[in-house]
Structure 1
Amino acid sequence: MAEPNQYPLLAAPHVHLSGPVDQTMYQRFREQLANAPAEGTLVIAISTLGGDPESARLMGDEVRLLRDYTGRETLFLGKVAVYSAGATFMAHFPVEKRFLTKGTRIMIHERQLTTDIHLSGPLKSLPAQLKAKLNEIEESIRIEEEGFHDLVAGSRIGFEEAAERARANWYIEAEEARDLGLVLDVI
């Protein structure tokens, strides 16, 4: 575990996010980002049991744009629980910019879908309805795989292993995440 004085910026994050990842969290993220110092390293902390993966991707894309277009260093700090959509958000930070607090756990799983298919209308329209649902599923799988690739990029875990372990809700303790290279350090 890192010494307290090794990463002093992590003691006072500029953006604090907790609760479900959703549009409300995204709005809080945008407000805190707007109120953060305009220069220097930006620290973003999150604790979440999960939520909407698209909201997580949206926040992550905001971080990526900030980093890519301003050159600003952005650090991720996971606290207590970084589950599901929280891990999706974490994947938008390079592994050398990711940190977890002691005792934090990450949970990675496959995207979930619960749906009923109700076919209604002229017979010739029904195949299109089924194809539309299949397209939705296939695109969601592609997005999930992109996220797994981003999550493990630069770590000692391969995509195939991450995808396989995610099928059974993969819980990773902070020290294990560090040892696997998913985060730089535990504070």
Structure 2
Amino acid sequence: MTLPILPASAFKAPTVLLSGAVDYAMYKDFRQQFEPAHEQDLVVIELSTLGGDPEVARMMGEDVRYHSEMNPEKRYVFLGKAAIYSAGTTFMSFFAKSNRYLTRGTRLMIHERKMDKHLHVQGPLTTCVAAVKATLHEIETSIAIQNEGFANLILGSSVTMEEVLQRAPANWYLEAEEARGLGLIEAVL
């Protein structure tokens, strides 16, 4: 089913307004604004962020996905303003492409997850192997989660997984019109 492109007037009073770091404080604010929104047929979630915790972004995204599936007659729409970096792009990937909008001049930033971990190997050799394997499993699982997000983001666009995997390590920045041209979003307001 093709959804109509929403006019700018549909975004006059977003239901949920979020800005700043994607963190547990944002999640709490999101939930407080999101819960009463279920009475509305159109729920606009506006975000501006320089990034943050990708797992918090996934939690908010799962809330949107779950409610979208439970209430298919309602429309949950993403509106990105100014900067949608990192975890903000992860959150946006949970919305169907037809429900992704950016304001003029907004920049998206797509990158790989990052890790800052020191591995100290000490003790009996079998314990050392277990510690190294545990870190390897953490990295492999993080890559799998990251790539699931990339797959959601590019679904229905002209961007291939190979392209996103090639560009993401160096922080891929896209201006709103470029994102629209690639089919990552529905429209620019």
TM-score (norm 2): 0.93
Determine which of 51, 76, 98 is the counterpart of 1:96.
98
1:119, distance to aligned residue in structure 2 (A)? 2.0
**Structural mapping, 1:146-165, within 5 Å:** 146-165=148-167
The aligned runs of 1:9-158 (5 Å cut-off) are: 9-36=10-37, 38-71=39-72, 72-158=74-160
Question: Residue 158 of structure 2 aligns to which amino acid in structure 1?
Answer: R
The alpha carbon displacement at 1:39 in A equals 2.7
In 2, Cα distance between the equivalents of 1:117 and 1:168?
A: 24
AA aligned opposite 2:30: F
Cα deviation, residue 34, structure 1: 1.9
Aligned with residue 181 of structure 1, among 163, 180, 183? 183
Structure 2: distance between partners of 1:13 and 1:179? 25
- Tell me by how many angstroms 1:28 deviates: 0.3
Q: Please, what is the CA RMSD of the aligned residues? A: 1.2
C-alpha displacement of 1:178:
0.7
How many residues align? The count is 183
- Give the Å deviation of 1:37: 5.2
CA distance in 1, matches of 2:7, 2:75: 17
Identity among equivalent pairs (%): 50
Amino acid at match of 1:108: I
1:162 counterpart SS class: helix
User: How far did 1:7 drift?
Assistant: 3.5
Q: Which one-letter code corresponds to 1:102 in the other structure?
A: R
Query: What residue is the counterpart of 1:172 in the other structure?
Result: 174
1:33-58 per-residue CA deviation (whole Å, 9 max, x = no partner) reads 12335131110010000000000000
What do residues 89-136 of structure 1 show as CA deviations (whole Å, max 9, x unaligned)?
000001111000011000000110111001233222110111000000
For the structure 1 residues 120 and 81, does the alpha-carbon distance in structure 2 shift closer, same or farther, using more than 3 Å as the test? same
* TM-superposition CA deviations, 1:9-63 (whole Å, max 9, x none): 2121100010000111100000001233513111001000000000000000000
Give, in angstroms, the shift of residue 159 of structure 1. Answer: 1.2
Return the letter of the residue paired with 2:79.
Answer: L
Per the normalisation by structure 1, the TM-score is 0.94
Q: Structure 1 segments of 4 or more deviating over 3 A?
A: none
